[in-house]
Amino acid sequence: MLTRPLRTLLLSVGLVVLLVAGYVELYRSRLTLTVPTAAQATAEQPQGILLDGLLARDAIPPLDSPQYVAASAAPWLEDDDLVLGVALNGEVRAYPIKLMNWHEIVNETLGGVEVVITYCPLCHSGVVFERRLGDRTLSFGNTGGLYESNLLMYDRETGSYWYQLLGQAIRGPLSGKRLTQRPATMSPWSDWRALHPQTLVLSRNTGYDRPYDRAFSEGGRHPPVSTQDDRLDDSVLVLGVEVQGRAKAYPLKRLGPSAFSDELAGRALVVFAGKDQGAVFSPYVSRWWGLSRTQLDFVFEQGQFVDRNTQSVWTTEGRAVSGPLRGQQLKALPSTTSYWFAWVTGHPHTEVYQGKLGM
């Protein structure tokens, strides 16, 4: 026979269970789960999986008036802390991932170019886009939802929803439009600072109280996504590049520190890879006052990126720092570092680099 205190306890537990179940059902009712076929996809019902209403709009607040400090004024950054680095028309900025984890979107103007700096912690994808689209400049916020388990942005001018990995509108008046991607570098703070001693750093003085020193990392499958592809493990970091609608992924750990030539959509490329980071360039330089154009062949030797043509030494950003080509700059192609599951979901027909690795 149950004692009165025990009956009271069981009744209380039952009420709590009912309340939790009701809350979960209410929360689930706020989600929009969309998986239409390509034929069904429209501006109001995109192809892919959309989870809307997970959080309130801008619950993860974007930064619209970012403040910066000199590198010397950021002792809170450790050498191995990741930053998303941007160098644009002479202006150089570092966006620490430990801050971007809590804001994900920064609306900014750098070097006279209106850009949005974006980062999705679930996909480890840091991408920079121009905010100028046609004759208008967009500013971006966070819908609080996900599309293909990726950051889902909205623009304040039309309310269109934007898929961060591709910079593509997937719902609303601008559906189908894509933003222009700009090169950016995901690298350890020590590497970025060494390349750019005068860099400015996004300040922790954001106007928000967040535990910026708390580290967290997401990896692996983040369902739901519409593409299943087991060519690589979900949480493998890849360097992805897209040329004329063709995409290729370079598995960074398999590559190891390396430099090699490749081709995509008939275009010659050179890839510089390091630990969990990489960059893609056009391998051509102009010489003799622009009278000749030379395609360079690169190798990674003795810890340096070296072209076989002249033995010049190059930085990870494609700038020659010694040798006959000192001062030359390779043209960087926009590329994205992300987990494999995110890249292949955005590029279902992507190739995977199968060439010689670790050279």
DSSP 20-60: HHHHHHHHHHT-EEE---TTT-BTTB-SS-EEE-SS-TTSS
Cα–Cα distance between 346 and 343 in angstroms, integer? 5
Confidence category of residue 217, pLDDT binned at 50, 70, 90? low
Q: Which pLDDT belongs to residue 224?
A: 83
Q: Which pLDDT belongs to residue 356?
A: 62
Cα–Cα distance between 247 and 264 in angstroms, integer? 8
- The rounded mean pLDDT for the chain is 87
Q: Which pLDDT belongs to residue 92?
A: 98
Cα–Cα distance between 73 and 321 in angstroms, integer? 27
* Average pLDDT of the residues in 95-99: 97
CB 117 within 8 A of CB 105: yes
Percent of the chain with pLDDT over 90: 78
CB 313 within 8 A of CB 306: yes
Q: Which pLDDT belongs to residue 329?
A: 95
Sheet architecture: strand order including 50-52: 32-34, 50-52, 140-147, 150-155, 161-163, 168-171
* Average pLDDT of the residues in 111-139: 97
pTM across the whole model? 0.86
Angle formed at CA 92 by CA 88 and CA 98, multiple of 5 degrees: 115
Residues of the chain with CATH 2.102.10: 237-352
Percent of the chain with pLDDT over 70: 82
Q: Which pLDDT belongs to residue 222?
A: 60
What sign results for the dihedral spanned by CA atoms 17, 21, 26, 32? positive
Task: Domain 237-352: give its CATH architecture.
Answer: 3-layer Sandwich (2.102)
| Confidence check: pLDDT of 37 > 80 | no
Cα–Cα distance between 209 and 187 in angstroms, integer? 26
Cα–Cα distance between 19 and 188 in angstroms, integer? 46
Q: Which pLDDT belongs to residue 223?
A: 62
Q: Which residue has the tokens 């910026």?
A: 212
Cα–Cα distance between 111 and 209 in angstroms, integer? 29
Nearest-CA neighbor of 146 among 24, 34, 238, 268?
Answer: 34
Q: CA end-to-end span of the chain, whole Å?
A: 76
